[in-house]
Amino acid sequence: MSDTAAKELTLFVQSKKVVTSFYRPAAPTASSGNPAADVGNPPHADPDASRAGEEAHFLSDDQARCVAMAEECASRRGYTLRVVDVAKIGRIERIVSERLRNVTAFPVLVGAAERRLEGPEAFTDERLCEMMPADMVGQRAFTYIKVRGGDLDRIRDVLLGLPEVKELHLLTGDWDVFVVLEFSEKSGGKRQILDFVTGRIRGVPEVLDTSTLVPEYSATKFPF
């Protein structure tokens, strides 16, 4: 599957038909042909009255909210979203049989490899981001840290006090601490990351050694 196809999703919704206006044409009397007096629906000269009884399709608030969430997520993460209203098309049986088999609740978001979200409850920021993994804007790195015995609470607080440290995990084994680093710009590359590790992290008195992994490419399913 091409990168373009992998970034295309289809959102199936099911609208309801409603009447666009509460106006009703005045009913003529059998004797005179004049409009009958109707207290509940009086005669009027409103030009929009000619449209009385026209049908339109509207989404429920739950489905409209899901559409807005999916469109916002797709826009942020570089995906193309096609919205299809199954209530408006004459090929609903074929569509249901081909792509919406066993669907019990709308909306349904279908992505690469036919992965899908079904029903309003499934549409959360986390689930949408899982459906639309995206290239990371900044640069991440992962550093293992060996420390000498000391106050682990203080070491933890010092490391978490560095803005570039986004996650910290205490380990057992050859390494004592694992941190996730994130830099807003990629321009500095590995040099920027290793300068930070050797200058700031190794500057913590209890740190004895470090080992840093710098990925060549990163994608994320987490919101950003």
pLDDT at 57 over 90: no
User: For 1-132, which CATH class?
Assistant: alpha beta
Q: Could you give the percent of the chain with pLDDT greater than 90?
A: 50
Q: What is the pTM of this model?
A: 0.67
Mean pLDDT of 180-201: 87
The pLDDT tens digits of the residues spanning 32-52 come to 444 444 444 444 444 444 454
How does residue 184 score in pLDDT terms, banded at 50, 70 and 90?
confident
Could you tell me where in the chain the CATH 3.40.30 domains are found?
A: 1-132
How far from chain centre, in Å, is Cα 57?
25
Exposed/middle/buried for residue 219 (C-beta within 10 Å: 0-12, 13-18, 19+): exposed
* CATH 3.20.20.150 at 135-219, yes or no: no
Spatial separation of the C-alpha atoms in residues 214 and 20, rounded to whole Å = 59
Are 127 and 113 within 8 A, CB to CB? no
Spatial separation of the C-alpha atoms in residues 165 and 101, rounded to whole Å = 46
Are 135 and 224 within 8 A, CB to CB? no
Could you tell me where in the chain the CATH 3.30.70.920 domains are found?
A: 135-219
* The pairing of beta strand 8-13 with beta strand 80-85: parallel
The mean pLDDT value of the chain amounts to 82
Cα–Cα distances in angstroms (integers) from residue 176 to residues 127, 156, 179, 192, in the given order:
33, 11, 10, 24
